């Protein structure tokens, strides 16, 4: 029998929209990147280093602090950041911030996320400067990168698939942004789309993200839906081993807070992917 996991409850006193935003925050893996990885780090106050082949980036403060967080933002600024990769001044974000996936988020989910973020305790913690070598430090170069690799488009339901499959597709493609880590990148940092989800030897955090297509030998073709759902809830693999590194953080702060139904939807979608060696 598959293990049953109950999603952690959001804080008391939230409105329905704010509760939805709390859930979006967890499904979007926001906590893992925007909260420093040491005990007692202020919630969502930034400082988490993210090592990549292009430099080390630091998750920014997204508490509603007016000086160091997003306290001076408007709701539309969050929409623009998530769907266009631009800050309120029109500057381009580096794609380590996965707006390339978040662009598929629904307006309802973005509005809910905004509503929840307004309830978070403001923290006056300055942001760290990214450690990016020349010439990548020139953000204007991102105009060309976006022209090559970023085509914002809303998530589209597949009428030929089940409701749960479509929910899983949305959670994987948009909120969970799984392809961002599990797809190999070229020399410019663009995703190798034909090999989506087939693993990335240079994933963020100086880690190797495994192949999560249902390939029988090199992917997770021997996993079943219950195995994936249990893994996303507890971090336990079918062989009894446990998740580590960034995936453990994603599970601990993100997918373990999802409902059983959503984890099974993710599993249904993942196992429908093309097996890629």
Query: What would the mean pLDDT of 32-39 be, rounded to a whole number?
Result: 90
Tens of pLDDT, residue by residue over 56-75, are 999 999 999 999 999 999 99
Cα distances (Å, whole numbers) of residue 24 to 108, 112, 160, 230, 246: 10, 8, 26, 20, 19
Question: Residue 149: which H helix or E strand, with range?
Answer: helix 142-149
Tens of pLDDT, residue by residue over 136-150, are 899 999 999 999 999
Q: Taking 50 as the threshold, does the pLDDT of residue 3 lie above it?
A: no
Tens of pLDDT, residue by residue over 36-59, are 988 788 999 999 999 999 999 999
Q: Taking 80 as the threshold, does the pLDDT of residue 4 lie above it?
A: no
Report angle CA 16, 22, 23 to the nearest 5 degrees. 90
CA distance 94 to 106: 22
Q: Taking a C-beta distance cutoff of 8 angstroms, is the pair 212, 182 a contact?
A: yes
CA distance 150 to 134: 22
**Residue 5: its pLDDT value, please?**
40
Q: Which single residue is written with the structure tokens 């809910």?
A: 112
Q: Taking 50 as the threshold, does the pLDDT of residue 2 lie above it?
A: no
CA distance 275 to 277: 7
Q: Taking 90 as the threshold, does the pLDDT of residue 1 lie above it?
A: no
**Residue 8: its pLDDT value, please?**
62
Question: Residue 168: which H helix or E strand, with range?
Answer: helix 163-170
- Give the DSSP letter string of the chain: -PPP-PPPPPPTT--HHHHHHHHHHHHTTHHHHHB-SSTTPPTT-B--EEEETTEEEEPPP-SS-TTTSSTT--HHHHHHHHHH-B-TTSPBPPTTS-HHHHTTS-HHHHHHHHHHHTTSPP---PPPPPB--TTTT-GGGHHHHHHHH---------TTS-HHHHHHHHIIIIIS-HHHHHS-B-TTS-B-GGGTTS-EEEETTTEEEPP-S--TTTSSTT--HHHHHHHHHH-B-TTS-B--HHHHHHHHHTGGGS-HHHHHHHHHHHTTSPP--
pLDDT band at 205 (very low <50, low <70, confident <90, very high): confident
Question: Residue 258: which H helix or E strand, with range?
Answer: none
Q: In this structure, is the dihedral angle defined by the CA atoms of residues 224, 216, 156 and 255, taken in order, positive or negative?
A: positive
Q: Taking 80 as the threshold, does the pLDDT of residue 104 lie above it?
A: yes
Q: Taking a C-beta distance cutoff of 8 angstroms, is the pair 124, 67 a contact?
A: yes
Residue 189, sorted as left (phi over 0), alpha (psi -120 to 50) or beta, turns out to be: left
pLDDT band at 103 (very low <50, low <70, confident <90, very high): very high
């Amino acid at each position: 029998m598959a293990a049953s996991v109950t999603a952690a409850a959001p804080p008391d006193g939230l409105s329905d929209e704010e509760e939805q935003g709390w859930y979006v925050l967890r499904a979007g893996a926001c906590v893992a990147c925007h909260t420093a990885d040491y005990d007692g780090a202020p919630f969502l106050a930034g400082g988490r280093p993210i090592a990549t082949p292009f430099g080390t980036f630091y998750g920014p403060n997204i508490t509603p602090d007016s000086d160091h967080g997003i306290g001076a933002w408007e709701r539309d600024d969050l929409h623009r950041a998530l769907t266009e990769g631009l800050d309120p001044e029109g500057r381009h974000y580096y794609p380590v911030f996965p707006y390339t996936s978040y662009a598929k988020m629904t307006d309802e989910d973005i509005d809910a996320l905004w509503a929840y973020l307004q309830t978070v305790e403001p923290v006056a913690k300055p942001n760290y400067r990214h450690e990016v070598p020349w010439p990548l430090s020139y953000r204007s170069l991102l105009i060309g990168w976006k022209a090559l690799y970023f085509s914002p488009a809303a998530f589209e339901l597949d009428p030929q698939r089940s409701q749960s499959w479509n929910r899983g597709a949305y959670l994987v493609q948009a909120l969970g942004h799984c392809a961002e880590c599990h797809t190999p990148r070229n020399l410019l940092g663009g995703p190798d789309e034909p090999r989506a989800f087939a693993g990335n030897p240079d994933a963020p955090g100086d880690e190797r993200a495994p192949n999560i297509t249902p390939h029988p030998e090199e992917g997770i073709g021997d996993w079943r839906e219950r195995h994936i759902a249990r893994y996303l809830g507890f971090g336990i693999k079918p062989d009894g081993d446990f998740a580590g590194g960034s995936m453990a953080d994603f599970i601990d702060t993100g997918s373990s807070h999802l409902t059983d139904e959503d984890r099974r939807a993710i599993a249904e979608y993942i196992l429908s992917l093309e097996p890629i060696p």
